[in-house]
Structure 1
Amino acid sequence: ANISDLIEQYLREIRSHDQIAEIKRSGIASRFAVVPNQINYVINTRFTLQNGYIVESKRGGGGYIRIEHVDLVDDTKIFDELIDYIGDSIGNNNADQTITALLKDKVVSEREANLMVAAIDKNSLRISDKVSENTVRARVLL
């Protein structure tokens, strides 16, 4: 496993005791002997809304990063944030991650997720212009 995987695993273990993990970025960076930006990278790529997480951060001396796993079914605020996240345009990878999170949280069935993935796949859309493709993909998801 690479260092990002180890950091992710550590953060998930902290969070497994509670739905929320509250950490100090500098403390985690010291623990793994990495720069704080490495912690940012892990959080920004692995603990995303489409993966079912809300991340809140407060900068400064007493600053923290709070990682909360949310149940997409029970929280309408999360649906609103998901709609904002998808917006007018979404790439294929981000759309796939979003559908995976919806499946994991049982918002959609496996069959529905497969249909969604098929409907938004670039081979199904067959639009040569990337911007137009991402716009159509967002409309289909919403």
Structure 2
Amino acid sequence: MSNLSDIIEGFIKELLEANSQRAIEIQRNILAQQFDCSPSQINYVLTTRFGNDKGYMVESRRGGGGYIRILKVSTSIEEELKNFLNESIGDSVTLNKALDLISALRERKIITDREQRIMQSILGDRALKGVVYEDRNKIRADVLKEMILASAENDM
């Protein structure tokens, strides 16, 4: 059984897919009531599952008539890739962050399932066991950037 965060994420993604404008407005309290959870659970899902690195922009307006607007950002692959590399990876990236970024690339159909599995394997601690622990995140970031560029090269 999926956890509540997965269910809320799925519901929001279904709303986005059904909306031809690629943006939705929802009220946090109403959504929380619908899923019988606290508004902070909704905030958690929005923060962890709908960030810029996952291709979404979230705008929130608080107060009585407040709402949350979620917009799926669509840009050219080249522009998306440049932003992704600069903002999401930087000079250093943890294994968990790298795996999240790779999953986001797959979800957005920038890489294939096979490329995702290869990237995950290459960036794992087992593959980097000969590297000093303090240097792994820097090397992981450099390797991840190169793999993304190589996999997207044919698409540009």
Shorter-chain TM band? 0.7 to 0.9
2:115 to 112, 116, 119: 112
Task: Summarize deviations over 1:66-115 as a string: whole Å, max 9, x none.
Answer: 2233457x254432432211122212122122222223333234443333
Equivalent residue letter for 1:82: F
**Retained in 1: the 8 A contact 2:46–2:58?**
no
Task: Summarize deviations over 1:9-56 as a string: whole Å, max 9, x none.
Answer: 221221121222222212212222322110011122222444x33132
Quick one: structure 1 residues 77 and 28, their matched pair in 2 at CA, closer, same or farther if it must change by over 3 Å?
farther
Cα distance between partner residues in 2 of 1:108 and 1:29: 34
C-alpha RMSD of matched pairs (Å): 2.5
1:53 aligns with 2:55: yes
Gaps of 5+ in 1: none
Normalised by the length of structure 2, the TM-score is 0.71
Cα distance between partner residues in 2 of 1:28 and 1:80: 34
Quick one: structure 1 residues 78 and 94, their matched pair in 2 at CA, closer, same or farther if it must change by over 3 Å?
same
1:21 to 24, 31, 46: 24
**Aligned position for 2:4:** 3
Count matched residues: 139
